[in-house]
Amino acid sequence: MSFLRKLFRATPTPTIDGAFSPSPLAIKLGTSSTTDYDGGAYAKPYVGRKNRLLMICTEERNMTMANGKKFSTGNHPVEMGLPMLHLMNAGFEIDIVTPTGRPVAIEAWAMPTEDADVKRLFRDYADAFANPGSLAEFVARKMDDAAPYAAVYIPGGHGAMLGLPDNADVGKVLHWAHEEGLFTLALCHGPAALLAAKTEKGFLYDGYQMTVFPDSVDKQTPMIGYLPGPMPWWVCEKLTALGAQISNTKADASCHIDRRLITGASPKAANAFGRLAAETLLK
């Protein structure tokens, strides 16, 4: 097996901090140098008081897999970037926060290096990603019914499974958004953060339909060296155990709206998810 992995370049790549990024084969099969971004044109961008979105990102880099090896992850640049472009073009401003205000962790190996729009976005927001706001401070000082927010946005990447699903402040923001009638947007592994909305009274999204990156695909990716080992836990399994209904079975471009929750299935859904979110908020 090790010979075949080397032959097909399916061995995960070591990082300087002792973790692993995806293998050359996995990078070739699972990422692209360009995206399907459609330009994000909107005839009538939003003009009004609720013109901001709160984007909750992970600040944690390495995921410890079931075999003890660490996967170098973070937020996926396409899953974060394309919806940002759509939402900004639709007239919304985006406030970036991490749990404590540490820099946003980004999966640099997934950056679409030949996509001018995405590259420009990450140049323009480099300082915001390096110096985000603190979610803890937002909860303590800014979370009220007068806040000018239209939605809470949780981008994907396996990093969304780190530090967000069990964060009390994430849970408070999700409940606040629900009570205030804000939309909640979550893409790919982003719905993992919805687990924070479980309290002794139950799960906020019990009975909701959503699209999420499938556990079945996460179970296959170690074979091509995308992950350095089996996942420590499974997102869809935990969500369905709490009553969520996952409507997709493939890592495809499917998206879904259930009440004020908008979800997308994978990086392939990033453009469609961004447009769906923007058009829904504009309504």
Distance between CA atoms of residues 212 and 146, nearest Å? 32
Distance between CA atoms of residues 264 and 277, nearest Å? 10
Kindly name the residue from 57, 188, 236, 255 that is annotated as catalytic: 188
Instruction: List phi, psi (to 5°) of 43.
Output: -65, -40
Residue pair 65/227 in contact by the 8 Å Cβ criterion:
yes
Distance between CA atoms of residues 85 and 40, nearest Å? 7
Residue pair 47/88 in contact by the 8 Å Cβ criterion:
no
Residue type, 122: F
283 bridge partner residues: none
Cβ atoms within 10 Å of 138's Cβ, excluding its own: 21
132 bridge partner residues: none
- Note the Cα 168 to chain centre separation in Å: 18
Distance between CA atoms of residues 105 and 90, nearest Å? 26
Structure-token pair, residue 14:
């070591």
Instruction: List phi, psi (to 5°) of 152.
Output: -115, 130
Q: Is residue 188 flagged as an active site residue?
A: yes
Question: DSSP letters of 63-104?
Answer: EE-TTS-EEE--B-HHHHHHHHHHHHHTT-EEEEEESSSPPP
Residues marked as catalytic: 188
